Structure 1
């Protein structure tokens, strides 16, 4: 964006929201088409947003248990909340984790019958592993995985090893993909010998968990070449070991055909016949945005 468009963009309040799709991600891959009806959660407050959704449980009737970044403009940091979505698209929400540092992207990773969560905490310069308790709907700390910042850390178990993908912190958070690997979920993690394994503003920053279709591994990633989180690129993993990593462009998911929250789309996950995304709506609120800017200057 040029300077005018950047300044104009600051007059909008950005609101992400979660959309639920009844659909098979394998069929999406086989057809290379993303053409679904999206049911967006109801958000009554323009200053609140839900982003980075991951599915914990999905029942065939449409009741879902979802972890999200829960952020309210003015709070200054995000929390991880659990959404209990009912078949009629109504939902209950409660805070599952609040560390007082910014949290987002709560990747869900199932391992040996336990549900682990690896939220992004790059601002705290670490990667921590937590466990989700379905009975209490709370998240508790388990172990530190790394003492370095990793943006949108995404765990993968592949060929007997544990792989931790993410991008470097700002100003390289949109462009520089790095990988760490370990023989055990809890480490120690070693850097990939080819780090940085990918450098591009298109299709690099993680946009959801890996998934497998017909024996092929796919990695969702953000395309930020037009705007932050504008579209999702689905990459096909061609090679992954301790010495090599390669992936190729497979398809792109654009937001324009979505209803309502259709300015950007930057997370995609799936489970048990449901696909979940987040979409961005911009609200033109120049007076509110100017007031927020003045308040920040005075603090």
Structure 2
């Protein structure tokens, strides 16, 4: 009897160890600690495969910190719009309090100047998704702290913005990414549990409702990491990968519309990830905004820095994402 108990205990221990090793391989328990985010940009002729990032075209949080009196922690979530041969770049800027939206401009897409804070609220702002619709400029940021999905309109572009509409009331979602097209108007975001939510309307000003037929992804690679973009008549969305902790990288997912059922499927795994050769992006990346132009594609992105080797123990994330992946596997 005693031998049987010892044998069972040994087998259980070995099985548990194997499971932990598998879990650790997929989502390591110990990862590099999150540091400070900076922003980069470049022009490229082709998007796929991912181009080599330009290590010179970066403005770091340190550079911006030196320009303003307030200490800042990071700049992140860059979105841009090109108008009249000028580039306007909007970013999240985190200082002492809630994050605000900052603006940079460039005549050539290479030499940017910091113009200041253009949007400041009592709640945290990020993800300043700026776009043009019917000859007007709009911004759909993450305004989760307000409890709503808020749409801003330029009162005086690019410096002054005001709330023009509440697209979704009493709905708190992270990083709402909007697609306005002839075939579909769509907002995709995630809730606090990293469950994808899809909303549609007949126009930007229409009544946005949760789409009645979509396949949601839950867990890793569910949260948007940039705006929708089109290549060869297909729509794609950057999504965040958290394999090595928050902000590991960006994967590209393709939007599918099968007889009215919407879903996002993996197209390019870890399109952008940690850049060991770039100091400011050596820990990871978590945002990409790309748009086509006359030279090919212009892209902006952010990356995170870890220079002191600090580590983070993330057992909850490891267990959670592994079990969610198992759930997703059996659900499918």
Identify whether the pair has TM-score above 0.5, normalized to the shorter chain: yes
Measured in 2, the distance between the counterparts of 1:64 and 1:144 equals 28
Q: Paired residue for 1:54?
A: 79
Measured in 1, the distance between the counterparts of 2:134 and 2:258 equals 23
| Post-superposition CA distance 1:267-297 (Å, at most 9, x none) | 11123342111111135499xxxxxxxxxxx
* Native 8 Å contact 1:193 1:242 kept in 2: no
Q: How does 1:2-41 map to 2 (within 5 A)?
A: 5=30, 9=33, 14-24=35-45, 27-29=46-48, 32-38=49-55, 39-41=57-59
TM-score (norm 1): 0.80
> Relative to structure 1, is the Cα distance of residues 93 and 281 closer, same or farther in structure 2, using a 3 angstrom cutoff?
farther
Greater gyration radius: 2
Q: How does 1:128-139 map to 2 (within 5 A)?
A: 128-133=150-155, 135=157, 137-139=159-161
Structure 1 residue 93 and structure 2 residue 112: aligned? no
Q: Paired residue for 1:279?
A: 303
Measured in 2, the distance between the counterparts of 1:111 and 1:249 equals 28
Q: Paired residue for 1:152?
A: 175
Structure 1 residue 113 and structure 2 residue 135: aligned? yes
Q: How does 1:179-194 map to 2 (within 5 A)?
A: 179-194=198-213
Say which SS state the counterpart of residue 180 (structure 1) adopts: strand
Measured in 2, the distance between the counterparts of 1:157 and 1:247 equals 20
* Native 8 Å contact 1:179 1:195 kept in 2: yes
Q: Paired residue for 2:274?
A: 255
Measured in 2, the distance between the counterparts of 1:274 and 1:180 equals 28
Measured in 2, the distance between the counterparts of 1:48 and 1:258 equals 22
Among 278, 285, 290, the alignment partner of 1:270 is 290
Say which SS state the counterpart of residue 244 (structure 1) adopts: strand
Number of positions where the alignment pairs a residue of Structure 1 with one of Structure 2: 269
Measured in 1, the distance between the counterparts of 2:36 and 2:268 equals 28
In terms of fraction of residues, the more helix-rich structure is 2
* Native 8 Å contact 1:239 1:247 kept in 2: no
Measured in 2, the distance between the counterparts of 1:95 and 1:64 equals 17
In terms of fraction of residues, the more strand-rich structure is 1
Output the aligned Cα RMSD. 2.7
* Native 8 Å contact 2:87 2:106 kept in 1: yes
Say which SS state the counterpart of residue 280 (structure 2) adopts: coil
Say which SS state the counterpart of residue 261 (structure 1) adopts: helix
| Post-superposition CA distance 1:114-141 (Å, at most 9, x none) | 1110010112211010113564522221
Measured in 1, the distance between the counterparts of 2:164 and 2:79 equals 19
Flag structure 2 segments of 5+ consecutive residues without an equivalent: 1-23, 66-70, 311-332
Deviation at 1:48, TM superposition (A): 3.3
Deviation at 1:186, TM superposition (A): 2.3
> Relative to structure 1, is the Cα distance of residues 222 and 3 closer, same or farther in structure 2, using a 3 angstrom cutoff?
closer
* Native 8 Å contact 2:214 2:263 kept in 1: no
> Relative to structure 1, is the Cα distance of residues 113 and 90 closer, same or farther in structure 2, using a 3 angstrom cutoff?
closer
* Native 8 Å contact 1:81 1:97 kept in 2: yes
TM-score (norm 2): 0.73
> Relative to structure 1, is the Cα distance of residues 59 and 223 closer, same or farther in structure 2, using a 3 angstrom cutoff?
farther
* Native 8 Å contact 1:154 1:166 kept in 2: yes
| Post-superposition CA distance 1:18-70 (Å, at most 9, x none) | 1011213xx112xx23313141114333843211000122676xx52101101
Deviation at 1:177, TM superposition (A): 0.9
Say which SS state the counterpart of residue 22 (structure 1) adopts: strand
